[in-house]
Amino acid sequence: MRKLYRSLAAAGLALALAVPALAQEAQERVIRFGHLNNADHPVSFGVKRFAELLAAKSGGRMKVQEFLASQLGNEMQQQSALQGGVQQMSAPATTSLAGIVKEFGLLDFPFAVGNFAQADALLDGPLGQALVAKLPEKGLVALGYWDLGFRNVTNSKRPITRPEDLEGLKIRVIPNPVFLETFKAFKANPVPMPFAELYGALESKAVDGQENPYSVILSNKFFEVQKFVSATNHVYAANIVLVSKKFWDSLSPAEQKMMRDAADEARGYQRQVSRAAAQRAVGDLQAKGAQFNELAPAEQARMRQIAGPVIERFSASYDPAIVKLYNGELARIRK
């Protein structure tokens, strides 16, 4: 982690030495950027990189103030704050947007992509942009997608080696219809719950388990209250960089360009840091006492088959044009 902090500081210093002429058009602004994660999580590193890039591009006039670890509330509370113009930025999981643009649920379909290259192609391509285009009418502007990683199940009862092992387990899920129905298909008992309440619920055994990327599991010390970590890799998860439309509309075109450019440049760095962290996290979790297991390809294929009717049911309720685009993009990126 110290190396990451040093690299961030060095990058900030180098950028500060070359202030562009465009910076003269920036006003003095403080941007409140909230998220759910701790300081050692890749989302936080992404916020820090974005802050340094924006400061450099604006000659220090546009400052980002990070509020981490749910200091500004859970994802729904922060979403409302952005829509109301009280908060300027956040970086929630895309799953949280399904309540206002239900087609974001397409990104939660289980086993849609099998690797990071496919995930990036889907999100950065026409499908990702079509979803982003639906947000301004909801009071939000998106500046791109960050990596959260493939989601995996942890629990305190048993290793998950096949779909039947999920039966009867109380699994905390994001309050999102696709997640709820997917885990119901596995005969689990999905419990929607805000992330900030999750550790306490695991500790008190109010729920048996949860599902998140490895870096989230490690950063939030779920290994203290969860014995089993199973590589289900059931869905790829992304964060989305959001800006309050009320705040966005108050910016000049030059300031908006600085924001977009900083977000574009921060995206590659954040993804790199996140994926490196996920690779290390499995070993770290095992070192902390977690029992780790992978699923045989045949069992993962069975999980995909069981989830198939959920995908079909939700697809029928979404905008047909977006669903057609989604399926077309999946066919393209899987080649």
Q: What is the pLDDT of residue 6?
A: 61
pLDDT interval class at 13 (50, 70, 90):
very low
Q: What is the DSSP letter of 220?
A: T
More confident residue, 19 or 259: 259
Q: What contacts 172, CB < 8 A, 6 or more positions away? A: 190, 191, 192, 193, 198, 201, 202, 207, 209, 210, 211
Q: What is the pLDDT of residue 158?
A: 98
Among the ranges given (95-99, 146-150, 220-224, 323-327), the one the predictor scored with the smallest mean pLDDT: 95-99
Q: How far apart are the first and last CA of the chain?
A: 37
pLDDT tens digits, residue range 273-292? 999 999 999 999 999 999 99
pLDDT interval class at 174 (50, 70, 90):
confident
pTM for this model (two decimals): 0.87
Q: What is the mean pLDDT of the chain?
A: 93
**pLDDT surpassing 70 at residue 11:** no
**pLDDT surpassing 50 at residue 15:** no
Of 224, 227, 92, nearest to 153 by C-alpha is 227
Rg (the chain; Cα; Å) = 20
pLDDT interval class at 17 (50, 70, 90):
very low
Strands in the chain per DSSP E: 29-34, 62-67, 89-90, 140-155, 170-173, 189-192, 209-212, 228-244, 291-294
**pLDDT surpassing 50 at residue 16:** no
CATH superfamily of 2-19+27-333: Bacterial extracellular solute-binding protein, family 7 (3.40.190.170)
**pLDDT surpassing 80 at residue 251:** yes
Annotated domain spans of the chain = 2-19+27-333
Strands 291-294 and 89-90, bridge-based pairing? unpaired
Q: What is the mean pLDDT of residues 78-92?
A: 98
Amino acid, single-letter form, for residue 335 = K
